[in-house]
Each structure stands twice: as C-alpha cells, then as structure tokens.
Amino acid sequence: MRFLVNPNRFNNFSDIIIKPLTIIAGIFIITGLIFSLYLSPDDYQQGSTVRIMYIHVPSAWLSLMTYLIMTIYSIAALAFRTPFGFIINTAVAPIGAVFTLICIISGSLWGKPMWGTWWVWDARLTSVAVLFLVYLIIIFINLSFENRVVREKIAAIFILVGFVNLPIIKFSVDWWNTLHQPATISKLSKPSIDPSMMTPLIIMTFAFIFIGILVAILRVKTEIHNRKHNI
Amino acid sequence: MYNFLKKLINFFYREYKINLSGFHDILTNISFFFISIFIFIFSIGPEKETLSLLSVGIVWSLILLSLTLSLRKFYQDDFDNGNLLIMHLNGFSFELICILKTISHFIYVQIPFLISIPIASILLNISFDKIYYLLISFLFGSLILSNLGSISSSMNLLNQRNYLLGSIIVMIFSIPVIIFSVAVINQEENFHYLINILLGILLIVFAINPWASGACLKLALQNN
C-alpha cells in the first residue's frame, strides 16, 4: 500500500492499473446506462423522471467521498509530513467540484417536475451548495498564491476547517424538516428501495467511482510531473 | 508572571494607540454600514410592513459585509512592518498572539458597531425589545466573526494577487452565524435554545482559531 503515500510508487502502480481500469469503467458505465435507461422499471408516482436518480445519487456520494479523501490526506500531509497529500489535494479538488455541480444540476432538473421548482432553500440543498463553494475556494487558493509551499499548506488547513460542512450535509435531512427525502440506503437497516432499482444504482455508483479514480490518476500524474520539472 | 502581565498591558496599550491614530478607518467602516442601509431602503422602498419583515436580516448581513471589507488590516500591518516577528521573539507564542489580536479586534472594531447598531435599528423601525435581542446576538456573533476573521486574514498574509479571497472565506464560514443570530431575534420563544447553539459555535471557533491561524502565521513568517 506504499503507492498511497509515495509519488514514485504511485506512478508505477498507476501505469499498471490504468488500462484495465479504463476497460472496467467503460464496461460499468455502458451496462449501468443500459440498466438505468431501459431495464429498470418506471416509478409508479414519478414515471420516467426517477431515472435521474441514477446520476444524481452516485455523484452526490462521490462529492462527499472526494472531500473525505482530501481531509484524510490533509491530516496525513500536515501531521505526518507526507507531501504526497498536497499533490492529491491540488489534483482532486476540481473533480469534487465537478461531481458536486453534476449533483446540483441533476437535482434541480429532477426538482422541477417533482417539486414544481428548480431550487428551494432547504437544508440539504443549501449545504450541498456550500460544499460547492468550498471546493471553489480550495481551487482559488491553489491559484492565487505564488509560493507553492504556502499555497498547499493553507489549502490543507482550509480543507480541515471546511470539514465541518460534511456532517451537516449528511445529517441535514434528519435534523431539519426538509423537502429533500431522508437517506434511503443506509448501512444499518434494510434499504427501502426495490432490487430492480437498486441494481442499476449500484452499477452506476461503481461506474462513477471508477471514472473518478481514472481522472484522479491522470490529474495526479500530471501534478507529479509538474512538480518534478518545477512548472 | 509580573513580566508577562506587563507585556500584555503594553500590547493592549500599543493596540489602543494604533487604533486611536487610525480611528478614521473604523469610522469609514461604520459609514459604509450606514450608507449601505440607505441604499437598501432606496431599493426596497420605505413601506413599514416590508421593512419590519426584512430589517433584522438587513442589519446582520450589512454588518457582516462591512466587517469582511475591513479584514485586510487584521494582521497585515503588523506583518509588513515586522512587529509580529518581534512579538514572537519577545516570548509570545503564535497562538497567544492570535488570541490577543482577536480580543483587540473585538474591542476596537466591534464595540463601535455595537454602539451604532441601535441608531441603525431606529432608522429601520425595529422595536425596542427586538433591539435588546439584536444586541445580545451581536455580542456573541461578533466574537465569532472576529475569530473567523483572524483565521482568514492569517491565511491571506502572503496573498498579493487575490484580495477578495479572505472576505469570501469569512463569508462562507459565517453562514451558520447569520442563520442562528437572525433566528434568535425573529423566534423569541426559542431564545434560550438558539442562544445556546450560538454559544456552542463560539466555543468551537474559539478552540479552532488559535491553532489554525497560529499555523498560518508561522507559515507566512517562515516563507516571507
């Protein structure tokens, strides 16, 4: 597992893994799209719009997951002095921002036919919008300092302070009365979603995870290359 | 112990002299606050019904705006003329410097706002019992804002390009402050419950602030 903290080993490992990962991601996204667009049934209330869920939910999970990974790497980088964490932070922040943007846009496209409005100021939606702004600020911090050492450390400190938002997003549907529904799939209880809709959701989640890892590997490799050659 | 107290007194005396000679800066802040209230009233219209719905939110958001605009001076002057380093060499740790600067920012910048809030709320037709709640929520909220300002301005010490970044960082973390401090005034039946949440946020921020901004100060001094 040294490739998770060592840039050279990461490069070697990613050279091995990148071709199979591309193929697996392609297979997963194609089967997932076939399942979600043709094989899964319509909802009895929502009709065909329920298929937005297969994009919306995986991207929301991945936006949270990306921030969690960034937080873990910031702690590792600041406390245990592993500079690879800074590389991960700079490389992964735009990916998280894009996933959050996909989540917000697909959610508002889903909200128009179901709730009758593009946007409501309820707790879940607002906190996800704040997460998007936090991602944007991380990108801005990475762009606006001239000294690289200062820039990456300050971004890491900001990520740690901004972690407060994550539990708020997770529990916002339980703490406040929101229009957004509470979590359907949780670890502790039996999911209240039918298996015929559960299968495409899980396949799409794995497809999104593989695509995210693929883009992240490319970005991290570029970042390592840039730092080696002082670009 | 005696030496330490003497240093503390000297620190606050120095802050007092600096803020007294630069008092027009604070006055500029407050006049920005009033002028933006005028602009709000011109854009909304002077009807009493709409104003009574909006007034508390207007006051709070304008306080936040005018404070974030003044944050550039929090550490920057001391950092540029080297006083921060001298303080550190005199035996003040970075964390202690952050706490002291936050307290002095609260005293010399926020207290003038505390005085000008009743005048602004008379202009906006806020009733007297609501002014009482407004002042209490400002007392807690401004301490939180001072701590957040310390974090963001210490982050931006070496940032010579993008001056607005510090203001954005403060604004994004002050969202819960705005939510709960406006709710304190508008929902008087839940007063104790909401003021406890505000106090909790204050304690969290007060615990985070010295470590985060101390680390940033150290980083800025090392890489200057």
Residue B145 token pair: 């804002």
Residue A26 token pair: 């392609």
Domain ranges across chain A: 17-42+51-228
| Better-scored residue on pLDDT, B187 or A75 | A75
* Phi, psi dihedrals of residue A169, rounded to the nearest 5°: -65, -45
Residue B54 pLDDT exceeds 90: no
Rounded-to-integer distance, Cα A12 and Cα A224, Å: 12
Q: Where in the sequence is the domain holding B95, given as residue range(s)?
A: 2-222
**Cα–Cα distance list, A192 to A39, A59, A60, A61, A185 (Å):** 20, 20, 19, 18, 7
Residue A43 token pair: 């909802």
Interface residues from chain A to B (CB-CB < 8 Å): 130, 133-134, 137, 140-141, 143-147, 149-150, 153-154, 157-158, 160-162
**Cα–Cα distance list, B198 to B140, B145, B183 (Å):** 7, 12, 10
For B71-127, how does the pLDDT look when each residue is reduced to its tens digit (9 = 90+)?
878 888 888 888 889 888 988 899 999 999 999 999 988 888 888 988 888 888 888
> What pLDDT, on the 0 to 100 scale, is given for residue A191?
67
Size of interface A-B (CB pairs under 8 A): 49
Nearest chain A CA: its distance from B111 CA (Å): 27
| Window B:85-124, CB contacts with A under 8 Å | none
Residue A19 token pair: 């071709």
Collect the ranges in chain A with pLDDT lower than 50: none
Read off the pLDDT of each residue in B150-164 and give the average, rounded to a whole number.
86
Rounded-to-integer distance, Cα B142 and Cα B178, Å: 11
Chain B partners of A145 at a C-beta cutoff of 8 Å?
158-159, 161
The residue among A87, A105, A100 whose CA lies nearest residue A137 is A100
Chain A within 8 Å of B155 (Cβ-Cβ)?
A: yes
Angle at A146 between CA A143 and CA A152, to 5 degrees: 65
Read off the pLDDT of each residue in B200-209 and give the average, rounded to a whole number.
91
B74: three-class secondary structure by DSSP: coil
Are A150 and B219 within 8 A, CB to CB? yes
Q: How many distinct structural domains can be found in chain B?
A: 1
Chain B partners of A161 at a C-beta cutoff of 8 Å?
151, 173, 208, 212
Residue of A nearest to B161 (CA): A144
Chain A within 8 Å of B43 (Cβ-Cβ)?
A: no
For B120-154, how does the pLDDT look when each residue is reduced to its tens digit (9 = 90+)?
888 888 888 888 888 888 999 999 999 999 998 99
Classify burial at A180, counting beta carbons within 10 Å of its beta carbon; exposed 0-12, middle 13-18, buried 19 or more: middle
For B2-42, how does the pLDDT look when each residue is reduced to its tens digit (9 = 90+)?
888 898 898 889 889 988 888 888 889 899 999 999 998 88
